[in-house]
Chains A and B, each alone.
Chain A
Amino acid sequence: MKSTRINNEFFSLKKCSLKQAIKMGLTPEEFELICKNLKRIPNVTETGIFSAMFSEHCSYKSTKKWLKKLPTQGIQVIQGPGENAGVIDIGGNDAIVFKIESHNHPSFIEPYQGAATGVGGILRDIFTMGARPIALMNVLRFGETINPLTKHLLNGVVAGIGGYGNCIGVPTVGGETYFHKSYNKNILVNAMAIGLAKKNKIFYSKATGIGNPVIYVGAKTGRDGIHGATMASAEFSNNTEEKKPTIQVGDPFTGKLLLESCLELMKTDIILSIQDMGAAGLTSSSVEMASKGNLGIFLNLDKIPVREKNMSSYEIMLSESQERMLMILKKGSENEAEKIFKKWDLDFSIIGKITNNKKILLEKNNKTVCDLPLKMLVDEAPEYNRDYKIKNCNNKIHSKDIYIKKTIKEILFKIMENVNFGSKRWIFEQYDSSVMGDTVVTDSESNSSIVKVHKSDKNNFSGKGIAISTDCNSRYVKNNPKMGAMLAVIEAARNICCSGAKPLAVTNNLNFGNPEKKEIMGQIVATIEGIKKSCEFLNTPVVSGNVSLYNETNGKSILPTPVIGMVGVIQDINKVIKKNAKNKNTILILGQDDQKDDGWLGSSLYQEILYSQCDGKVPEVNLKQEKIIIDFLTQIHANDLIIAAHDISDGGLLPSLMEMLFKNNLGMNINLPKKLMNLNRSNIYKLHGWCFGEDQARILIATNDPAKIITKANKNDIKVFDLGITNKKSMIKLGNYDGFSTKKCYNLYESALPKILLD
C-alpha cells in the first residue's frame, strides 16, 4: 500500500476494498469469507489485522495440519509448541528455554538489520518466558560464491548477528553456513537462542483476570517493519528494493535494557502474562494473549508510545518496531513495575485492559477503530489442505560411475579449500563467543557447542552443561525429503553425543519454497514425517519451531532446508569430548562395516564439489544402527576411554579425520582394509568411495586404549576399523597410493572463506 494513504487515519477507517485487501496479502476468497462472517466490510485497519493474523507466518495455514503430527511430549517437556519458546527440564530446579526462528526475507533486503533483528527477536522469545539467554546459534544459507551479491550479504548478515549478540552480551557459540546457487536470491538466516530459567518461574502468554491492566514497555512504536509478517509470507520478484520499508530496525542497546528490566520485574510476582511484540507486532501479541486466555482485550491506541506524530491506527497495529513487550499485570501493581522500567530508561504505558467480551476492541481519538471477535482471527483462521507430491531420487550412484581420475590428495585438497567444508573462522571470530564466562566449547572445537549451567558448580565439581547442535544437509533433503530430514535429526544427535552429552529435545525451522506448488508441499509433508520418525525413535520431542515458506524468487525455490536445533545435557563439563586427537592416539571408526559400506557417493559433498551438482539416492538410514553407535560411544565415554571424537558426515571419512588432526598438527600412516590394498586403475574408484563416501552411522574416535574398545565393540556386535596411530610428523600416508602434509591441508582449510572474500 502507498504510505501516503496508510499514514492517514481517515483512510485507516475507510471500508477496505478488495484490491487493498489483496495488496495486504489476503486472497479474494479469504477477504470474502471475512466479510461474510463479519456481516460487514472491515475497515483498512481491521483488514490489516486480519491479513497479519492470516499470514503464513502467524497462522501456519499451509503446515498446521502436518505440524500436528510431530512428537511433542516427553517427561523432559515442561512446555511444548504454542508458547514463545519450548521449555525442558534439565534436573534440579533448572529448565532450558529454547527456540529457532528465521529472518530470511528481511535479511535479503537489508542484511545487517535483517540479521540483527532476527537475533533480537529470538532473544525476546526466550526472556519473555523468564529465562536469561545463555547462548546463540545461527544457521545461514547464501548463494554461490561467484554471485557478487553473496559477499555483500555474507558481510552484512555476519556483522548484523554480531552487532546484536555481542552488544546484548549473549555468546554466539556455533552454527553452520552453507553456500548454494539456489539461495542466490533467497538467503536463509535462522537464529536459535537458549535460555536458563527456574522451573517454578516460567512465564506464559495466556491472559488472565478481567479488568487487569495491559502494559506496553520498551521502545517506542515507529513506522518500521510495517506488515513485515505479510512480506515474509510472499515470494520475491524483481522489486525487493521496494520492500525496504517493511524492514525492522534493531537496537541491541534497548534490547539489553529490556532484557534486564524484564528479568528484574520477573523476580516479583506481579506479571500475570507476557508476550513480546515480534512478527505482526501489537496485533499478534494482543490477539494471541487474549485468545489464549479465552478473554477479550481493549486497547487505547492514543496511549501507545510512538516515535512519530500522527501515526494511524493501521500503522500502530502493523508496525514491527523492535524491543517492545506487552504484559498483563496484577491490578494495583502498576507503580511498582513502572519504577523498574523508569530506572532502565524505558517507556512504560498502561494501554488498556483485559475484558470478558472475547473481542479485540481498539480506540483512537475517542473513536472505535477496530471491533473484531477474536475467534475469527484465531480459531477461524484459514487452514489449507494443500495438494502435495513427494518426489524422491532413487537413482543409486555407484562410486564406479562417479569417481574422477584425480589422486586422493588432489580431491582432498579441493574439499578442504571448498567454502562449504572449509573453516568458518572468518565468521565465528566476529561473534563474541566467550561473554558470560560460561562457554565451555564452541562447535569449532567440539561436535556441538557447550555452555555451563551458571552456578551449577560446587566445591570440586565444575558443573553441568547444555549441548547445542544445529544441522541440515539440504542435498539429502532435496533428493529424499523424508530420509534427509531423518538424517538431519540423527546428525544433530550424533554431534551432541560426540561431545559427551545426552540429546534431550529439538526445535526446528522449516525453510521451503512456495507451498502452493505440489512438489514443495510434498517436501514439507515428507520432511515432517522424517523429523517425526527420528525424534520419536530418539525420544527427542519437538518443543518449538518456526516455518518459513515462499523462499522463492521469480518462481525458483531454495533447496528444502529443514533446520534442526537440538539441545542436550552433559552432567559434568569436565567430561566434554573435543574434536582434536593427541599424539600417539589410536583412531578407530565405530560402525565401519567394510563388507557392507561401499563408499556412498550419491548426494555427497564429493559429488557436489567435483560435479557442481548433487543427485542420486541418499545414504541408507538405519535408525537402530545409529542408536547402537551413539549408545556405545556414550558407554565407552563413561569408562573414560575416549580422547576425542568426530562424527563422519559431510565429505566422508578422510576429510573428517583431517579435522581431528589439525589442531595438534598430527600425521598418520592410515591402515587400509584388505580389499583396498592392491587396487589398480580399473578399480581405484573403491578407494575414492572409502575416503569420501558418506555412509551413515559412523563415528571416529581417538583413544589410548583401542584393545579395550574393540573387545567391548565385539561384544555389542559393533564393527570397528582401526585406522592407525597418530604421530608428530604431520604427514598423512595412505598406503602406497598417496601422501600429503597435514599442515598444507590445514592451510587450505583455513583459506576457504578468506579466499572468496578477498577475490
Chain B
Amino acid sequence: MRTGIIVFPGSNCDRDIEVAIKKFSNKNPIRLWHKDTEIPNLDLVVIPGGFSFGDYLRCGAIAAKSPIINAIKNHYSRGSAILGVCNGFQILLETDLLSGSLINNQNLKFLCKNVSLITQSTIESPFTRGLRSGSIINVPIAHNEGNYYANDQLLKKLEDKGQIAFKYLDSENPNGSKNNIAGILSENGKVLGMMPHPERAINTYHSSQDGKFFFKSLFNHLLG
C-alpha cells in the first residue's frame, strides 16, 4: 500500500498526518510538492490541513489551481482514494471532486475544540467500511471556515445516496453546518473530505484516541 501527502505552501498538518499514517500503516508516505505534475501509482493521496496560500482569495481556491491538481484528478480517475482534512476538504470542494462549500463559522470565529462525530451509514467506501454506523468518535476541530453549505437539492442527494460520512451531534454543531455535516464522500465513495482532525487524536497523551478507529479501519481496508 502506498500513500502520498500533498504539500502546498502554507500546509501545516502535513507532518501530523504523516505521523498518523506511519503509525497505523507501518509504511512511510511520500511527500508531493504542489508544483509536481505527476503522481506515481498510489493507493491513497492525502491533502492535509493548514492555510494553503494563506487562505488568500478564498480557502483552498489558489491551491485548486496548482499544477498537482490535474495529477490528483488522474489519480481519482484511476479509482484510487483521496482524503482531505480541514483545508484539504476546502481544496477538494474548490476542485469539484466534492460538492458544496465551506463558509465562515456561524459565530465568525476560529474554533478549536473536541467534538463528537456520528458515523453515518454510507455507500461503499474505504473510509467508512470498518466503522460501525451510529458509532461516535471524539476528535478535535480547528477551523474558521468549516460551516458546510449546500442547497436543499444537493443535501437531499447527499443524504439519499449515503454520501455523508460524519455528522456533528445535533446538540453540539460547532459551526452551523447544514444537516450537522462534518464530512462528505464523493459519489463513488473514494473521496472523503472532513473538517475534524482524526490525526490529532491517536496517542495516549492526546485528549482523545478515537482517531485510531478511523485510521485502523482505513488501512485495514487499503492494506487488504
Binding site for B on A (CB under 8 A): 159, 162-163, 166-169, 251-254, 256-257, 344-345, 429-437, 439-440, 445, 452, 462-463, 573-574, 576
Contact = CB atoms under 8 A, between A and B. Distances in A.
Interface in B96-117: 109-113
Contacts of B109: 159, 430
A435 B50 CA distance: 9
Interface in B104-156: 109-113, 140, 142, 144
B54 A462 contact: no
A167 B54 contact: yes
A440 B200 CA distance: 11
B110 A574 contact: no
Contact of A429 (B50, B111, B202, B205): B111
Interface stretch (B10-18, B69-77, B165-173): B10-18
B16 to A, nearest CB: 4
B19 interface: yes
Given A256-B9, A256-B51, A429-B112, A166 B142 contact: yes
Contacts of B199: 437
A492 B10 CA distance: 34
B140 A169 contact: no
Nearest to A254: B54
B15 to A, nearest CB: 7
B51 A435 contact: no
A645 B48 CA distance: 37
A432 B205 contact: no
Contacts of A159: 109-110
A574 B51 CA distance: 32
B36 interface: no
Given A253-B9, A574-B204, A432 B16 contact: no
Contacts of B112: 166, 429-434
A435 B205 contact: no
A116 to B, nearest CB: 12
Interface string B71-103: 000000000000000000000000000000000
B205 A574 contact: yes
Contact of A256 (B12, B15, B202, B204): B12
Interface string B167-208: 000000000000000000000000000000101101111110
Contacts of B49: 435
A253 B142 contact: no
A433 B140 CA distance: 10
Contact of A252 (B19, B54, B202, B205): B54
Nearest 3 interchain pairs by C-beta:
A169-B12, A253-B54, A437-B16
- Among B9, B13, B202, residue most surrounded by chain A Cβ atoms (within 10 Å): B9
A462 B142 contact: no
A462 B205 contact: yes
Given A159-B109, A429-B112, A435-B12, A462 B51 contact: no
A151 to B, nearest CB: 14
A344 B9 contact: yes
Given A168-B12, A429-B113, A434-B112, 20 more contacts: A163-B110, A167-B51, A167-B55, A251-B54, A253-B9, A256-B9, A256-B54, A429-B111, A430-B109, A434-B142, A435-B13, A435-B200, A436-B16, A437-B16, A437-B19, A437-B200, A437-B206, A462-B203, A573-B205, A574-B204
Bin chain B's interface residue count: 20 to 34
Contacts of B206: 434, 437, 439
Contacts of A435: 12-13, 16, 49, 142, 200
Contacts, number: 89
A581 B169 CA distance: 27
Nearest to B199: A437
B7 to A, nearest CB: 9
Nearest to A346: B9
10 contacts: A159-B110, A166-B112, A167-B12, A253-B51, A253-B55, A254-B54, A434-B142, A435-B142, A462-B204, A462-B205
B56 A253 contact: yes
Interface centre among A167, A251, A435 (most CB of B within 10 A): A435
Contacts of A573: 205
B24 interface: no
Contacts of A344: 9
Contacts of A463: 205
Contacts of B16: 435-437
B52 to A, nearest CB: 9
Given A169-B12, A169-B50, A434 B55 contact: no
B208 to A, nearest CB: 10
A162 B9 contact: no
Contacts of B205: 440, 452, 462-463, 573-574, 576
A256 B109 CA distance: 22
A435 B197 CA distance: 9
Contacts of B202: 437
B213 interface: no
B219 interface: no
B123 to A, nearest CB: 30
Contact of B9 (A257, A445, A576): A257
A162 B13 CA distance: 16
A217 to B, nearest CB: 15
A449 to B, nearest CB: 13
A345 B9 contact: yes
Contacts of A162: 110
A463 B19 CA distance: 15
A433 B204 CA distance: 17
Q: Quick one: which of A253, A432, A463 has the most chain B CB within 10 A? A: A432
B154 to A, nearest CB: 29
Nearest to B142: A432
A576 B207 CA distance: 12
Nearest to B33: A343
A182 B123 CA distance: 61
A144 to B, nearest CB: 23
A545 B112 CA distance: 30
A445 B205 CA distance: 13
Contact of A253 (B53, B111, B144, B197): B53
A433 B199 CA distance: 14
Nearest to A260: B9
A43 to B, nearest CB: 39
B200 A253 contact: no
A115 B20 CA distance: 33
A573 B203 CA distance: 11
Nearest to B35: A343
Contacts of A433: 112, 142
Nearest to A162: B110
